[in-house]
Each structure stands twice: as structure tokens, then as C-alpha cells.
Amino acid sequence: MCRAMFRSGQLWRIRGTAAFAIGLTLAMVLSFNRPAAAAPTNSSIVIDATSGQVLLQSNADAPTFPASLTKMMTLYLLFEAMQKGAVKLDQPLPVSANAASMPATNLALSAGDTITVATAIQAMIIRSANDVAVVVAEGLSGSEAAFAQKMNAKALALGMTQTVFRNPNGLPDPWQHTTARDIATLALALHRDFPQYYPFFAQVRFNFHGRTYVTHNRFMLHYPGADGLKTGYIHLSGFNLAASAMRNGRRIVAVIMGGRSPSMRDAAMWALLDRGFGTATPKTQNNALLLASVVSGDDAYYLEHKAADSSWTPTNDGDRQDVAIALFASADQGASWTFRNVIVGGGWQGGSAGATGVNVAAADTSHEIDPVWEPYLLTYNNKLVAYYSDENDYTAYNATTGALTVAGDNATGPDSAGQILAHKTWDGVSTSWSSAVADVAGNTTTTSTGQSEIGGGRPGMATVTPTADGKWMMTYEYWGGGDNVRYKIAGDPLSFFSVTGVGAAISGLPVASGSRALARGGSPVLVRMPDGRLAYNAAGSGSVWVNAAGTSTGAIIYIKTQIQNTG
């Protein structure tokens, strides 16, 4: 493994159409004879769905742009048509040239295509597809202009008195505006009037033309009890979110308009819903950013040499004691950080990074190499999961639970120089993290005293991501022969230990015909992009490989991203 010892952890981190509603009264027309604010307006409201009581509000009647929250009204009218029997879920809707011309976010539909009503619903909620919203509008009313009239008439009937719609998708139009209160009114109506269709809002992925799309609504994936509704963004609106959550039989609807970023908007929504329910969820989950970072004591090797010769100059890192991984949190987008707790503790670094056993401190009498490093954070089932590389000495792990057995002479005996991959979990309220679980134990080796220990091949530097087919994939370094990158696939991110052995060679993943072979030189990175695709990179190439299907078995294609040297 490349022992870049203090690699700092990981952050845990338009167009519209005309058509003003002609059915409105003159007074309504005059009251709307102005556009929304020219800059994002921050506003919010929280409402008890049963009683209708406004629990919290801030600037709730300030005009602003709905952005893709507009699609909530498009969906309302589509649900209404379905309820009346005018359209069916399996009914194909034709795609016009106008619909196909809509800019991203979209499904890249072509004129002459068709899309079923069921897929159209998923595409508007999960993908926020602008082209699909126009397909629905034209399918129900013949044109965007006629559909906008229906949208405004329905808005007035629902009591959305400060809203004007000009298109079905929320693309920028200076005269299309709404308020946080009106969007909350619409969210409540969707749940009240169409309970049979409301579960569509809780769906997180769908497949279309061989590609898997994953929800933009990250808040819904993490907040306990959340089950919809919709995100929205254009430059003039800021980041909008309409959310609904149920706890102990009580439903609350909340709306935030004008968030400065998705993470700040989601953190604010988390706090609003917590206040609405009157019960706080773990504060750790509510921070905009979380950071797992390697920490340690002073460089003992450096201090020893400086004490002996004040003019001595180091040429590399030395030997640090108590190398550990700590959790830090930031509620201000990284401007400041607060220490939360220690995730896992280790021992001596064991010498210079990249040169094990070199520059060892005299105080490290046993020449131990027991640091923990290379952390990776994610959330799963409302818990934090921290993966890390662990150079402590272990004799075995339990194949049923993944529990590790520490060598009795870990701090004093001959070091195996091995390393394993492990993880711990934290619920955000307990005083400490869980016990460690092995993810990749490596090969069994024998120390100079004849003791068997795991950690051969030094698996480390893990990245973990969910796949579109409901599985989890881990990539990591491995230096035991063959590819220097390996992977495991498991049913959940906490049971990689159940996949026996050291994992499969990364070159075994399917690569599209004609595409370059995957890089496998170590230091792998695997991430899931917002649209569900998986992107991979490793040492040996500056380019990336993309799995467009996002599944654990999807074919991967090489994409060149390197800047050419023309000098």
C-alpha cells in the first residue's frame, strides 16, 4: 500500500412557455402583475397534516420561484385524471418535438417516442425530467399553454392564492411564482386527495431504456420517517424542498425555499421537522458536513533528534504514537469544525510513511506498526459507518459476525506488518462507536515467533457505494498478487465479511466492448453519481470508467478525462 500516512480523511460529507390563466378574476390578475424576487428568497413553513395547524413559519408568504416543485401540480392534475379514469398507468403518451426540446434535467426523449404514464410519474418525481412534464401536459391538455390554465385554475381551487404557473416543469419564467405556504398547501392536497398514488413519492429509482435513475431527494433517504415529496432548483429560486414525514402516526409537511446549497437546505429541513415533531434525531446526522480524519500524538522521532541536535532537519515523516481516527462536524459548510469523538484508536506509526521501519523513534521500543488510517464515511439505516485501514495485529475474525481477535502481543510482539479493512458504526447518541468488524481480512501470515495473523496483502483504502440492483460494492487496494485493486459485492454495507476470501480482481468486472481495461494500480475510488451511474478510477490513469446502468453487473466504459500535453 502507498503509505501516504496522513491522507486527510473523507468529507461526509431553461425555458418556459406563455399562457397566463385566463379564468382568473381581474383582481387576481392585478395582484399577480409582477414577477417573483430577482434573487433567491429564503422562506419556510411547517404544518401538521391532520389538524392543519401551522407549527413554524418564516417569510412563508414571500413570493419566489417554484422551480421543479412546479411538477407537483403537474402530478396533481395527472393523478386527478387517473382517478377519473381518463388515463391509465400503462397508457403510452406520445413525445412531441416540443417536449423533446426541453433542456436538462431530462430523459433525452426523442420526437416520436412514447412513455407510459407510470414511467412518466417516476421520471418527474425521481429524475425531475423536464421533457416528461411537457409530455404529460400535452397529453392531458393538448399544449403547455392550455395545461398552464388548468394548473392555475386548480391552484386557485386548492387555495394557492399567491401562485401562478406558466409551464409544467418549473423552467425559468419571470412571471411564474409561488410561496412556501402555497407549496405546503399543494403537498397536503397530494397526500389527502390521492392516497393511492402518494407512495410514488417514496420511490427512489426507476429504469428506462436500459438506464437506472436514482432520486435527487437525498433528504428523504436519510431523515427517519420521511416519505416524499420533491426537490427543486433554478438559479433564481435557490434550493427548494417540499418534504413530508410520519412518526408515531403523526404526519408533518414542511417546505423550504431558497436554500443556499442542497446540504444546507437539507440540514435546515432536518431541524424544522425535528422541531415540528418535538423530538430531536441524532445531531450528528443533522450537520451539513462530517469529517473523519487521522489524528496522532507528536512525531517522537522528530522530537528525539531535535533534542539531540537543534540544527537537525527532517527529510521525511517519522514515528507517531496513538495514531487514531476522529470524527469532526461542521454546521457552517466547513468554515469551522468541532471534535465529536474518536472512532477508533491505534498505536505507533512505525516509521516513515512509505518506508515501514525507517525513522523509528527510540520510544517505540518494540518497533510497532499499528496505525489506523484511510477513513471512509457513509450513512446506513440512520447510523454512521466508518470504514478504515487497520494495522493492529489480529490473529483471526469470526466468519459469522466479523468480530476480530486482537493478538495478545499486539503492542509488544514482533509486528506482522499486515493490515486489514474494518468498519465501526455509531447511532449518533451512544457514548462510543460499535466494536470493529472485519470487512477484508487479507491472507494469513506467520510472524517471526510462529504466530499466525491475518492482514497479509494489506487490503486498505476502501470506498463503498450502493448499486442500482439493491447491492453494495466495496473497492480497495490489495498487494497480495494479481490486480492491486479488488472488490466485494454484498447485500448490505455491513456484511462484506460474509464474502469469503480477499475479494475478486477488479479486472473481472465487465467492460464494454472496445473499451480500455480498468486501471488496477491501487488507490481506487468508486462513487455513485446523482443520476445513479457508477464512476471508477485507480492509480495508473487520470481517466474514469463509468457503469451507466449503475448495477453490480453493468458493463463499464472508459471515458478519457486527461488533458493532453501539447508542449
Q: Which residues are catalytic?
A: 68, 71, 128
Measured between alpha carbons, how far is 416 from 448 in angstroms, rounded to an integer? 8
Q: Indicate the DSSP class of residue 103.
A: P
Task: Give the relative orientation of helices 144-158 and 180-193 as an angle to the nearest 10 degrees.
Answer: 90
CA torsion through residues 177, 182, 184, 186, sign: negative
Among 72, 38, 46, 41, smallest CA distance to 257 is for 41
Bridge partners of residue 257, in order along the sequence: 43
Tell me how far CA of residue 279 lies from CA of 44, 266, 382, in angstroms. 19, 17, 15
What type of residue sits at position 42?
N
What is the CA angle 541-547-548, rounded to 5?
Answer: 130
Tell me how far CA of residue 5 lies from CA of 319, 369, 401, 442, in angstroms. 11, 12, 30, 20
Burial of 308 (0-12, 13-18, 19+ CB in 10 A): exposed
Buried b (16+ CB within 10 A) or exposed e, 405-436: eebeebeebbbbbbbbbbbbbbebeeeebeeb
Bridge partners of residue 394, in order along the sequence: 406
What is the CA angle 382-388-390, rounded to 5?
Answer: 140
Measured between alpha carbons, how far is 354 from 105 in angstroms, rounded to an integer? 45
Coil, strand, or helix at residue 537?
A: strand
On whether the CB atoms of residues 296 and 321 are closer than 8 A, the answer is yes
Coil, strand, or helix at residue 294?
A: strand
Tell me how far CA of residue 530 lies from CA of 118, 205, 223, 330, in angstroms. 22, 11, 18, 23
What does 467-479 look like in DSSP terms, one character per residue? -TTS-EEEEEE--
What type of residue sits at position 338?
T
Strand 443-446 relative to strand 250-259, pairing: unpaired
Bridge partners of residue 398, in order along the sequence: none
